[in-house]
């Protein structure tokens, strides 16, 4: 009877979140900041915030995650946190020697009204920022949006604080990455390289939160977008931003600041979203699509074709972030599966609209909700009304999966109880193969486990 | 290269070389990569294991999301504590106040879950916007008949340790609210064990074998009604100096219940924890039973430990844990299996704790208060430690350095308390210290 606390009857809840399908902004800002080479993220707030975010990221990546905190006290929350941040900047450059500090605020520092622009300016004026070093920042009030908003704000902060235009454009394009795993960022770089696209990818957490075991502890692992590349992003000829919620704001800001034209596309999850991504890249970078990529696409389509009898009609419930959920739902539809329930704690009216257009013509009974009231408790209640064949989402889905005896594919943030997400991408055609392989494994394992002896099949 | 933050020199010392007293009880420097957390965190981890109560976090979603089922505190009964409830406050509440939201959340939750009591954690921002949480709680108590207790835990109001105190204050609102004033003979409350990996079940069994009656376990496998009656116990036994000695002190003051400080890690400390209770009750029968229990357990355990002791001889360990009392027990337990402690530190130790640690340590052992990853890395390297014992954030650092690691915190998967726990501990240390994986990274 473990954790069977969800009831079937859905009662309207006015002011309460049970088992959230989101968390707060700062953790996203911290993760994005780790995608800059030589960066120490800094949390401007109480010690606990920093500790929680580091713990969450450490549990997800099984890697050391470094970040500093302003260590607010009762005094700072009355008199403002300026002194703390100034002291912190000084201490950090002296002791931890990063190339750059990426400051994000918290609900506390936002509510007392600390002005990060003014404080960082003052630190600069007072000589607290050594020559050749940088401090960038963004506002991440926890009471607005979700972890995705925080990620987006930090990516915009990179543009706002670093990107410059010299007036001379170069041949590279910017690839602004949505909130994905280091494995995915590595995969995007592989694809761009295969296509012969000169690019700057940011942020880039590959080789940061998936660092190899070497016997030494590197405070700043070798990965991450280099600062000169971030500065030069203003001179690149175009921007391809993938994952609207996480990157559209940064792409827009870069266009306003440095006149870099941009396209925003979905995260390349599944066949069609990857098609769009590849086409856009080909257009913007003015490169052709090589046969190797076409062959990868063919292999994905081939596997879907081969295994279609195990996929069709399977009901799927998903939860997580809009940037993942939209192309994932599309991919499921393309595999003849039925994404029937979708929730995301991340607000944004667009998600509903996109899913409506995508899903309702094919599955009129599908239910989806995001923002206020869209939590995993609601998702579980829907599942209790009519069950599903597969659940996809972060680790917190395991309670539902256990309660309902439903195969469960872990995707999203955080994954606290399995590994692999750091190393095996879910983006691109190859990532599609990985998702499909996992889905089939789960469905077929269940079939094997539950088959009677006479029905138990050798060949599937 | 020595990188101890300016202003931290006094929080690190080497026994035998340094003469200064270890400075502690300080808040972390701004800008340090501290391993510490906040007041909310402290109160939440202490109260979390009370499994038939509702735990509602009043604040933006993060505080609830990060404390959702994170502690391996087992409950033998209800599991409500493992769900995550939040008022999930937004900009609107930040501007207009969150009292209404809080009230309706409480009403909805109490109707749905019918808990024995409810704890409302007020976070940083709730304190700033000035919600009168206390009066909302009082009103809801009146309306529903379910006691709703405010846990005043704004993160900035101190360190995690201050959060423990806040939790103890909240618990005191329950203590003494049920049953007569009469003291139950030969009875104890077990305070400060959180039933990680089911450790409390072992302890309960030991004490019951001695004929001791257990009134309440606070808060591991905790229940509201038991805590309400806990004033009837004749003795409080308190583990984990940092978190819950304050509750014992308050109970002593209000209900004249004496307390004993104990530790359940390692043979020595575990046995003392049993003998001292028998001694307190001045009962020969209890003492005989305790002696018998210890004899049985130890004679079973010692031969098994021999293997590990031989294998681990000469290995060196660094300890960096939350509570100081735990660090002290660990030094002794490690010694029992042939492992020398070369670095020992805690997040929340006080002067007295560090003095005990110093006295217990060998010459050359480094003592450290509230360290950070860079400093810890250097201390570990300088002392050539083979194993690090710590919590979730230290694990990947240890591994990156090619060191073995043992989680002595929330993420322990095996019981480490008691006699059975000592064997588990030896096994775990052995497994990690001897793991063949480190052959690939050992720097020669």
Domain count, chain B: 3
Where residue B1 falls among pLDDT bands split at 50, 70, 90?
Answer: very low
Q: Which of B228, B256, B291 is the last residue of a domain?
A: B291
Contact B402 A215 (CB under 8 A): yes
- Sheet of A39-44: strand order equals A68-69, A39-44, A100-105, A134-138
The radius of gyration of chain B's CA atoms, rounded to the nearest angstrom, is 22
Interface list for A 326-345 with B (CB within 8 A): 345
Q: What integer pLDDT is reported at residue B242 of this predicted model?
A: 66
Q: Could you tell me if B285 and B218 lie in one domain?
A: yes
The verdict on A51 and A146 lying in the same domain is: yes
Last residue of a domain, one of A262, A289, A316: A289
Question: What is the pLDDT averaged over residues A57-80?
Answer: 91
Same-domain check for residues B49 and B108: yes
Q: CB of B51 within 8 Å of any CB in chain A?
A: no
pLDDT digits (tens, 9 = 90+) for A167-206: 999 999 999 999 999 999 999 999 999 999 999 999 999 9
Q: How many angstroms separate the CA of residue A189 from the nearest CA in chain B? A: 26
The answer on A195 and A285 residing in a single domain is yes
Q: What is the mean pLDDT of chain A?
A: 95
Report the domain count for chain A: 3
| A349-397 pLDDT, tens digit each | 999 999 999 999 999 999 999 998 899 999 999 999 999 999 999 999 9
In-domain check, residue B331: yes
- The answer as to whether A369 is a domain residue is yes
Q: Does B77 touch chain A (CB under 8 A)?
A: no
Query: What is the mean pLDDT of the segment spanning B402-424?
Result: 90
Based on the domain organization, do B259 and B354 belong to the same domain?
no
Q: In this structure, are B341 and B235 located in the same domain?
A: no
User: Quick check: is A19 in a domain?
Assistant: no
CB contact under 8 A, B39 and A48: yes
Interface residue A158 vs chain B (CB under 8 A): no
Domain-embedded: residue B33: no
* Secondary structure (3-state) at A218: coil
Do both B154 and B82 map to the same domain?
yes
Residue B30 lies in a domain: no
Same domain, B141 and B197: no
In a domain, A228, yes or no: yes
Asked whether residue B164 is assigned to any structural domain, the reply reads no
Measure CA A183 to chain center.
12
CA distance A79 to A335: 58
- A15 and B100: CB-CB below 8 Å? yes
Closest-CA distance of chain B to residue A351, Å: 20
Q: Give me the domain span that covers residue B263.
A: 187-291
CA closest to B75 among chain A residues: A2
pLDDT at A309 over 80: yes
Gyration radius (Cα) of chain A, Å:
23
DSSP string, A141-210: -TTSS-HHHHHHHHHHHHHHHH----S--EEEEEEEE-S--HHHHHHHHHHHHHTT--EEEES--TTTTT
What Å distances lie between residue A221 and A41, A92, B286, B371, B402, CA to CA?
14, 17, 58, 21, 16
On whether residue B45 sits in a domain, the answer given is yes
CA atoms A102, A108, A110, A112: torsion sign: negative
Averaged pLDDT, A259-287? 98
Nearest to B396 among A63, A70, A77 (CB): A63
User: Which chain B residues touch A47 with a CB distance below 8 Å?
Assistant: 28, 34, 36-38, 155, 159
Q: Which residues of A touch B39 (CB under 8 A)?
A: 46, 48
B108 and B208 both lie in a single domain: no
pLDDT band at A93 (very low <50, low <70, confident <90, very high): very high
Counting residues of chain B whose pLDDT is more than 90, the rounded percentage is: 71
Chain-chain contact of B112 with A7 (C-beta, under 8 angstroms): yes
Residue in the block written with tokens 């403002």: A80
Contact at CB, B128 and A77, closer than 8 angstroms:
yes
Chain B, 103 to 162: residues with Cβ < 8 Å from chain A are 104-105, 108-109, 112-113, 124-125, 128-129, 154-160
pLDDT exceeds cutoff 90 at A445:
yes
Nearest to A142 among B37, B60, B79 (CB): B60
> Average pLDDT, stretch B390-394?
83
Q: Residue A250: pLDDT band by 50, 70, 90 thresholds?
A: very high
CB contact under 8 A, B60 and A64: no
B325 and B279 share one domain? no
Which of A162, A196, A213 lies at the terminal end of a domain, its last residue?
A162
Q: Which of A233, A258, A289 is the endpoint of a domain? A: A289
Residue A381 is part of which domain span? 307-426
Same domain, A56 and A135: yes
A188 & A105 share domain: no
CATH number for position A348: 3.40.50.1980
Q: Give the per-residue pLDDT at B5.
A: 64
- Residues B198, B287, single domain; the answer is yes
Domain membership of residue B5 (yes or no) is no
Q: If you measure CA to CA, which chain B residue comes closest to A146?
A: B61
User: Chain B: nearest CA to A216, how far in angstroms?
Assistant: 5
For chain A, what percent of residues have pLDDT higher than 90?
91
- Specify whether the CB–CB gap between A325 and A343 falls below 8 A: no
Interface test with A, best of B62, B83, B154, B318 (most A CBs within 10 A): B62
pLDDT at B444: 47
Contact A237, A169 (CB under 8 A): yes
**B271: confidence class by pLDDT, cuts 50, 70, 90:** very high
Minimum-distance CB partner of A89 among B31, B80, B125: B31
CB contact under 8 A, B90 and A144: yes
Per CB-CB distance under 8 Å, the chain B contacts of A16 are 85-88, 104-105, 108-109
Q: How many residues does chain B have?
A: 444
Question: In the A/B pair of chains, how many CB contacts fall below 8 A?
Answer: 251
């Amino acid at each position: 009877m473990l954790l069977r606390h969800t009831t079937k009857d859905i009662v309207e809840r006015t002011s309460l979140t049970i088992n959230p399908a989101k968390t707060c902004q700062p953790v996203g800002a911290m993760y994005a900041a780790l995608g800059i080479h030589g960066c120490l993220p800094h949390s401007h707030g109480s010690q606990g915030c920093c500790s929680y975010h580091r713990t969450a990221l450490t549990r997800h990546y099984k890697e050391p995650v470094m970040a500093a905190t302003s260590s607010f006290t009762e005094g700072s929350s009355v008199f403002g946190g300026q002194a703390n941040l100034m002291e912190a900047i000084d201490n950090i450059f002296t002791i931890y020697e990063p190339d750059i500090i990426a400051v994000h605020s918290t609900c506390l520092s936002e509510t007392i009204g600390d002005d990060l622009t003014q404080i960082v300016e003052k630190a600069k004026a007072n000589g607290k920022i050594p020559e050749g070093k940088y401090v960038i920042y963004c506002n991440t009030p926890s009471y607005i949006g979700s972890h995705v908003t925080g990620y987006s704000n930090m990516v915009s902060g990179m543009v706002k604080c670093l990107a410059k235009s010299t007036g001379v454009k170069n041949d590279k394009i910017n690839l602004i990455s949505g909130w994905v795993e280091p494995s995915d960022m590595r995969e995007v770089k592989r694809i761009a390289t295969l296509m012969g696209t000169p690019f700057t990818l940011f942020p880039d957490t590959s080789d940061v939160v998936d660092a190899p075991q070497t016997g030494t502890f590197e405070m700043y692992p070798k990965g991450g977008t280099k600062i000169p590349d971030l500065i030069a992003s203003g001179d690149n000829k175009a921007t391809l931003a993938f994952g609207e919620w996480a990157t559209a704001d940064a792409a827009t800001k870069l266009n306003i600041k440095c006149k870099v034209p941009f396209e925003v596309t979905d995260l390349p999850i599944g066949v069609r979203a990857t098609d769009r991504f590849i086409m856009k890249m080909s257009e913007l970078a003015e490169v052709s699509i090589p046969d190797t990529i076409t062959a990868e696409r063919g292999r994905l389509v081939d596997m879907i074709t081969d295994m279609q009898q195990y996929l069709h009609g399977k009901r799927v419930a998903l939860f997580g972030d809009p940037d993942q959920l939209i192309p994932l739902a599309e991919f499921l539809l393309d595999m003849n599966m039925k994404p029937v329930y979708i929730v995301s704690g991340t607000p944004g009216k667009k998600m509903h609209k996109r899913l409506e257009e995508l899903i309702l013509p094919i599955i009129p009974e599908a239910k989806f909700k995001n923002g206020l009231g869209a939590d995993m408790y609601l998702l579980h209640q829907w599942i209790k009304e009519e069950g599903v064949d597969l659940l996809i989402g972060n680790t917190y889905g395991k309670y539902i999966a256990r309660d309902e005896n439903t195969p469960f594919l872990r995707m999203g943030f955080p994954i606290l109880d399995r590994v692999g997400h750091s190393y095996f991408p879910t983006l691109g055609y190859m990532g599609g193969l990985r998702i499909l392989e996992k889905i089939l494994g789960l469905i077929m394992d269940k079939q094997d486990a539950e088959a009677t002896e006479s029905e138990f099949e050798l060949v599937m | 290269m020595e990188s101890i933050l300016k202003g931290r020199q006094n929080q690190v010392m080497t026994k035998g070389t340094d003469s200064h007293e270890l400075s502690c009880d300080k808040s972390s420097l701004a800008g340090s990569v501290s391993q510490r957390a906040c007041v909310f965190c402290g109160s939440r981890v202490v109260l979390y294991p009370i499994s038939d109560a509702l735990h509602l976090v009043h604040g933006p979603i993060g505080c609830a999301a990060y404390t959702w089922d994170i502690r391996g505190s087992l409950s033998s009964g209800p599991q409500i504590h493992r769900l995550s409830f939040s008022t999930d406050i937004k900009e609107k509440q930040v501007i207009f106040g969150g009292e209404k939201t809080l009230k309706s959340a409480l009403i909805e939750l109490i109707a749905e879950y019918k808990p024995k009591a409810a704890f409302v954690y007020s976070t940083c921002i709730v304190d700033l916007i000035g919600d009168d949480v206390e009066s909302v709680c009082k009103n809801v108590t009146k309306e529903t008949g379910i006691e709703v207790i405010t846990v005043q835990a704004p993160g900035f109001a101190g360190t995690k340790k201050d959060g423990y105190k806040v939790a103890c204050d909240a618990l005191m609102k329950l203590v003494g609210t049920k049953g007569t004033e009469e003291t139950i003979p030969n009875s104890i409350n077990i305070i400060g064990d959180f039933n990680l990996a089911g450790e409390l079940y072992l302890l309960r069994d030991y004490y019951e074998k001695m004929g001791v009656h257990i009134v309440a376990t606070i808060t591991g496998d905790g229940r509201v009604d038991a805590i309400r009656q806990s004033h009837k116990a004749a003795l409080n036994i308190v583990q984990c100096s940092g978190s819950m000695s304050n509750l014992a002190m308050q109970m002593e003051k209000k209900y004249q219940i004496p307390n004993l400080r104990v530790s359940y890690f390692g043979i020595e400390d575990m046995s003392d924890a049993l003998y001292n209770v028998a001694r307190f009750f001045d009962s020969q029968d209890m003492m005989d039973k305790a002696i018998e229990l210890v004899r049985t357990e130890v004679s079973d355990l010692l031969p098994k430990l021999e293997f590990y002791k031989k294998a681990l001889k000469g290995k060196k360990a660094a300890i960096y844990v939350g509570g100081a009392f735990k660090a002290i027990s660990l030094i002794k337990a490690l010694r029992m299996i042939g492992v020398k402690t070369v670095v020992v530190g805690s997040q929340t130790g006080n002067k007295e704790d560090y003095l005990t640690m110093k006295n217990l340590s060998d010459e050359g052992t480094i003592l450290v208060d509230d360290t950070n990853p860079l400093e810890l890395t250097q201390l570990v390297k300088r002392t050539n430690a083979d194993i690090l014992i710590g919590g979730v954030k230290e694990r990947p650092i240890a591994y990156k350095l090619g060191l073995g690691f043992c989680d002595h915190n929330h993420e322990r998967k095996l019981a480490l308390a008691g006699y059975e726990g000592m064997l588990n501990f030896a096994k775990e240390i052995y497994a990690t210290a001897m793991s063949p994986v480190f052959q690939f990274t050992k720097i020669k």
